[in-house]
Amino acid sequence: MQKQKLYNTEIEASRIIYGCMNLGNNRNRPELNDEEMRREAVKSVNAALEHGINFFDHADIYGRGKSEEIFSDIWKAHPGLRDKIIMQSKCGIRFAGDPASGAPHRFDFTYEHITNSAEGSLKRLKTDYLDVLLLHRPDPLVRPEEVARAFDDLHKAGKVKYFGVSNHTAYQIDLLKKYVTQPLVVNQLELNLIHSDLINAGIITNQRKPETFIRGEGTLEYCRLNDITVQAWSPLALGEFNKEGSDLSNVISEIAGRRNVSSEAIVTAWLLKHPAKIQPVIGTRRPERIAAVCQADSIELTREEWYKLFIAGRGEDLP
């Protein structure tokens, strides 16, 4: 697996990130008990490691903390692994009923929640530090001074090396940057062939009838200008690109067949082709699908292939 440096850091990361959201979640497979989930999680993480992935993405809410806890089983299988991999977690989303009944689902960037969440992630992951901590979704009530204080205290204590955001627009990042002393090194955003709005926004300016109403224009360009690494969550669009008979499915199948690789590899390679050096965050638990995705690392799509995929994904020709 090729590596790339996260801007403004000393981190050498795999181009593809393994997302750990599903490790502690048996929603789609209720027959799995706790022990079976743990064994499957270790197999999934081992498969990612075997294919050269060294970057693992978490969040305090994944499996309500269970995903981080289960991931820590990997230390038993691989003593000494911690300092060879990169671990990132996210905070800021609170469930309904937390901490008291009647509390709504909400976002929380208060000093107390950020620091408590980071401490909880460290405890569940059985580690002394996080390489990166992201703010998960923008909090309309954010007081950037509180965020700055939380980041400073976590950094000074050696508990978090670097910081970033997720699902933030350019202006939301600028607001934080006015107060936060550490560089914001990551913005994790939904981006894939079907949900390509961040790229599409750059070509529908001044069009009378854009097919979608897009907010956050310029976010991708802002990240490039400010050396913020873009990570793409849901890069495989939950498998929607596989809808039989669709134009997108046909284009993917044609390119995959000609290159003798998986469809997942083509979808992932489309993101890797972008000059922003986007890092796809994959979340499958199946080792064979992890292998299929990682084929993308050896693929360099042509400009023509990239645009054929882009047009098929957006559902109409370019302006």
Name the pLDDT band for 212 (thresholds 50, 70, 90): low
Q: Write down the pLDDT at residue 191.
A: 97
User: Can you say whether residue 260 is alpha, beta or left, with left for phi > 0 and alpha for psi between -120 and 50 degrees?
Assistant: left
Active-site annotation holder among 7, 18, 62, 129: 62
Residue 207 has pLDDT above 80, yes or no: no
Measured CA to CA, the distance from residue 207 to residue 12 in angstroms comes to: 40
Range with the poorest average pLDDT among 104-113, 204-213, 285-294: 204-213
Torsions phi, psi for 306 (to 5 deg):
-60, -45
**Segment 27-64, tens digit of pLDDT:** 777 778 889 889 999 999 999 999 999 999 999 999 99
The answer to whether the beta carbons of residues 155 and 134 sit under 8 Å apart is: no
**Segment 116-133, tens digit of pLDDT:** 999 999 999 999 999 999
Between 31 and 254, the higher pLDDT residue: 254
- Segment 164-187 shows an average pLDDT of 97
What domains can be seen in the chain, in order of their start residue?
3-239 (3.20.20.100)
Residue 174 has pLDDT above 60, yes or no: yes
- Please confirm, yes or no, whether 129 is among the known catalytic residues: no
Residue 141 has pLDDT above 90, yes or no: yes
- List the one residue out of 209, 129, 200 whose CA is nearest residue 161: 129
Name the pLDDT band for 285 (thresholds 50, 70, 90): very high
Q: Write down the pLDDT at residue 217.
A: 72
- Segment 215-225 shows an average pLDDT of 87
Close Cβ partners of 306 (under 8 Å, ≥ 6 residues apart): 270, 273
Neighbouring C-alpha atoms within 13 Å toward the C-beta of 37: 23
Measured CA to CA, the distance from residue 171 to residue 225 in angstroms comes to: 13
- Provide the CA 246 distance to its chain's centre, in angstroms: 27
